[in-house]
Structure 1
Amino acid sequence: MPKTPDPVSTADAEAFALARGLVAGASHAALAVIDPADGSPGISRIAFGRAPDGGFLTLVSALAPHHGALMAHPACALMFGEVGEKGDPLTHPRLMVKARAAFIAPDDPQRPALRARWVEDHPKSKLYVDFADFAFVRLLPVSALLNGGFARAYRFTAEELLQAMQAAGDGTHHPRA
């Protein structure tokens, strides 16, 4: 039987720009995790932000089910992209990122800079960011798949995704209201 050609392309400049736009505009993402109790998948909506170095970041309460899931199984996945007002939801672009979670300890020297950026980008978090049960989590990309709409799918390595995120040259800082 003949081998079917891979319908997913290598990322190009257009794919880089689309991926960058999906992440730059994101204040939240869908997070997929593995439930440590039974090994089944779970999904949550999380607040999303960027670290001062441009890395992916979230702030998680120990009360959230995905906190324990990430502690037990750091492998996770993120999805960025919103469905537009018109048309088939599957024609709107979305970026799926395989990642590994790395919790930031409360006494980590990086935490003050992460906190400052997070509060700047998520002002309402000032009410709870310092609660003892909250932790910053870096979401370190492993690979990504961009679905840019019908017949427009692209693969990214972790390095390519990070390159795409930094290509704008704007310091990766995108404050939100």
Structure 2
Amino acid sequence: MSNAQTIAELTTSNSIAVLGSLLPGEVPTPYASLMPYVLDESGAPLLLISGLAVHTQNIHAHKAVSLLVDGTGGYEDRLAGPRSTLVGQVEKVEKASFKDHYIARHPSAAMYYDFNDFELYRMTIERAHLVAGFGRVHWVEGDAVRAAIIDSLAA
């Protein structure tokens, strides 16, 4: 399995990740939060987030984010398991057309999906950092990751 395929497998088999964003300020400070996501047909993660959340305020100041997808569950030594950090930019998208798709993956979102303060953001994956276990660390370009995710979704 290629590195891009490993990242695609992690990304398609999970639906919760850790979102990294930057707190605005004179010196931007890293901020991490738990984030449900779904993937659209182009392999891009879609994030439904409230305008009241700290990470949303961060995104308004800095479009650059990361999304850590963890595949280490079930490993006795969690550091031996695979994980990948997707790196890219986010932009707001029209949320109405993704409602059924999002709620199918996250049914609890049905009660707040239509709230006015919730918006949907699409992440464009520019690169991904894969840690496939001890000493197996690779950067993979976004085009390869997106193509592998699309192939994985098609299967």
Query: What does residue 92 of structure 2 align with?
Result: 103
- SS of residue paired to 1:131: coil
Q: Does 1:19 align with 2:3?
A: no
Query: What does residue 40 of structure 2 align with?
Result: 51
CA contact under 8 A between 1:147 and 1:153: conserved in structure 2? yes
Q: How many pairs align?
A: 154
Q: Does 1:134 align with 2:110?
A: no
Query: What does residue 3 of structure 1 align with?
Result: none
Q: Does 1:145 align with 2:109?
A: no
> Deviation digits for residues 126-159 of structure 1, max 9, x if unmatched?
1000000000011111111111002222221110
In the alignment, which of 26, 36, 42 is matched to residue 24 of structure 2?
A: 36
CA contact under 8 A between 1:83 and 1:92: conserved in structure 2? yes
Show structure 1 runs of 5+ residues with no match.
1-12, 172-177
Normalising to structure 1: TM-score of the pair?
0.80
Q: Does 1:76 align with 2:60?
A: no
Query: What does residue 152 of structure 2 align with?
Result: 168
CA–CA separation in structure 2 for the residues paired with 1:135 and 1:168: 27
In the alignment, which of 89, 92, 102 is matched to residue 118 of structure 1?
A: 102
Once superposed, what is the RMSD of the aligned Cα atoms? Answer: 1.7
Normalising to structure 2: TM-score of the pair?
0.91
What is the letter of the counterpart of residue 139 of structure 1? M
What is the letter of the counterpart of residue 12 of structure 2? A
Structure number with bigger Rg = 1
CA–CA separation in structure 2 for the residues paired with 1:14 and 1:57: 24
* Bigger strand fraction: 2
CA–CA separation in structure 1 for the residues paired with 2:43 and 2:5: 16
* Bigger helix fraction: 2
- Greater mean deviation of Cα atoms: 78-87 or 91-100: 78-87
Aligned residues: percent identity? 24
CA–CA separation in structure 2 for the residues paired with 1:119 and 1:88: 33
